[in-house]
Amino acid sequence: MRRLEIPCKKQFVSLPSVPIPTNANKTCDSMFEAVFEPAGLFKAILEALQDLITDVQIECSSEGMAIQSMDSAHVALVQLMLPSTCFVQYRCDRGVALGLNLPSLHKLIKTADNKDTVELSAQEGGDSLIIKLKGKTRRCRWALKLMDIEADRLGIPEMEWHSMITIPAKEFQYVCKSMSLVADTITVTTTSKPNKVEFSGKGDLSDGTIEYVASTVDGDPWGRIEVEILKPLALSFSLRYLSFMTKATSLSNFTVIKMHKETPLCVEYSIRRPLGDDDAQSYGFVRYYLAPKIEG
């Protein structure tokens, strides 16, 4: 049997507590307000997270809203950053941590139409996140209870990746979906001369490979494959977890896969709208970190 583990060394580094109130049920001395549109994009962002993480702290500061949380098995780490510039209106005078149940938040946001506006606010000393959804004729108001959540804050060190693959997001989704037909584990192998990446899987009855050579597609800037190699690698990962991560496919044109021999895999989606537009607005990013599979 194989099992997933996160190595103790050369991994995420524990950091001291951030300077925010210890009681997540109280916001701070100031009011927090954020207006986001369209609601359809906000729904898609939450959809990309909720299969891996459940109870989370949303850390709000003058720079924007951020989530950093591990899954219950401590195999994967999810990192979301929504900068203040991606909101129609944003105010957070002092740091605040909002403890929330993510699936519950997603259910409430799903009651909005895709073109609606999402308004989030938390009052001083309040015990709920106020959610207002505004459309052309309909107004919804929800109050979601805040939670006391104990969360370890992890430092993610900057590093020089051994291999980095940039692939159309829909193509990476295709790889994970296709490989899931034959195996539970996927091996990602990078080689040079020419630079290429191979995704392979082996099950009891069948096996297969999907290979991409670094290339560009004439007339299609969104179809390129980039494979940057400092050191060739071959690492194996859980297809179940990678498939959860491809829920972020609708957020970005490309998936960026970063690999290092001694650290977790990083899968990154830069959130942009509209897709396929050189001048698309940036809405931040979603990053997933996944420990490689090792023999148990």
User: For the purposes of burial, counting CB atoms within 10 Å of the CB of 279, is it exposed (0-12), middle (13-18) or buried (19 or more)?
Assistant: exposed
Q: How far apart are CA 149 and CA 172, in angstroms?
A: 34
pLDDT tens across 285-294, in order?
Answer: 999 999 998 7
- Looking at per-residue confidence, does 281 or 140 come out higher? 140
Counting residues of the chain whose pLDDT is more than 70, the rounded percentage is 86
> Alpha-carbon dihedral of residues 142, 273, 271, 170, nearest 10 degrees?
110
Residue 270: C-alpha distances to residues 172, 254, 263 (Å): 14, 8, 21
State whether 61 and 76 are in the same domain. yes
**Segments forming the whole domain that contains residue 142:** 2-14+21-154
State whether 56 and 134 are in the same domain. yes
Number of structural domains the chain divides into? 2
State whether 134 and 232 are in the same domain. no
State whether 33 and 134 are in the same domain. yes
Q: What is the pLDDT of residue 296?
A: 52
Q: How many helices (H) and strands (E) does the chain have?
A: 4, 23
State whether 148 and 254 are in the same domain. no
Global pTM exceeds 0.85: yes
State whether 116 and 192 are in the same domain. no
Q: What angle do CA 85, 255, 257 make, to 5 degrees?
A: 115
Q: How far apart are CA 148 and CA 33, in angstroms?
A: 20
State whether 134 and 40 are in the same domain. yes
State whether 199 and 267 are in the same domain. yes
Q: Give the residue from 188, 163, 272, 180 showing the smallest Cα distance to 222.
A: 272
State whether 7 and 149 are in the same domain. yes
Tell whether the model's pLDDT for residue 130 goes beyond 90: yes
Tell whether the model's pLDDT for residue 7 goes beyond 80: no
pLDDT tens across 12-48, in order?
Answer: 444 333 333 333 444 344 479 999 999 999 999 999 9
Give me the helix-helix angle, 39-47 and 102-109, nearest 10°.
Answer: 150
